[in-house]
Amino acid sequence: MLVWLLCATVFSACDFRPSAPENRATYFVEKFIVAPQAVDDLRAVARLAGDQDPETLASDLPTRAAVAYLRARQRLGADLGFHAAGTSRDASGGRVVKVVVSESAAAKDAAVRFDVELHNQDQAWLVVRLQSD
């Protein structure tokens, strides 16, 4: 019984969200598109003010349109694939990760690309901006 309690405590204390910038960016984009109602998960990997909605990270029209399109495709049963396609450093020491979202049935040219900007805060990479190119 004590071993079971100890195991349960250890697993409940673990954060199963990815921590590397590339994995964290991919996780965020996938969760943002597939499960936008999971606000707590999105807030855990993003730098947001107290009551700020994660949707505000996609503030420009092309990004909101790309997100709306992918959410609609997913609701219609499309099999979406998410992967990081490169990382660069920005001037402030943060990272910009290119995340590509593609449909398995669609041509490679039909992929939607996002730039996910992350900053390192308290030993954790947090998403600060999402932009479609």
Domain harbouring 110, CATH code: 3.10.450.50
Query: What's the average model confidence in pLDDT over 96-113?
Result: 81
Q: How many domains does the chain have?
A: 1
Structure-token pair, residue 60: 């420009």
Tell whether 65 is covered by a domain: yes
Query: What's the average model confidence in pLDDT over 80-90?
Result: 92
CA separation, residue 23 to residues 52, 68, 118 (Å): 23, 22, 11
- pLDDT at residue 3 greater than cutoff 90: no
Structure-token pair, residue 106: 């669609």
Tell whether 94 is covered by a domain: yes
Question: Which position has the higher pLDDT, 59 or 69?
Answer: 69
Tell whether 61 is covered by a domain: yes
- For residue 2, name the pLDDT band (cuts at 50, 70, 90): very low
Tell whether 46 is covered by a domain: yes
**Whole domain around residue 52: which residue ranges?**
19-132
- List the one residue out of 133, 73, 103, 97 whose CA is nearest residue 18: 97
Q: By percentage, how much of the chain surpasses pLDDT 70?
A: 82
- pLDDT at residue 14 greater than cutoff 70: no
Tell whether 125 is covered by a domain: yes
Tell whether 11 is covered by a domain: no
Tell whether 10 is covered by a domain: no
Tell whether 4 is covered by a domain: no
- pLDDT at residue 41 greater than cutoff 70: yes
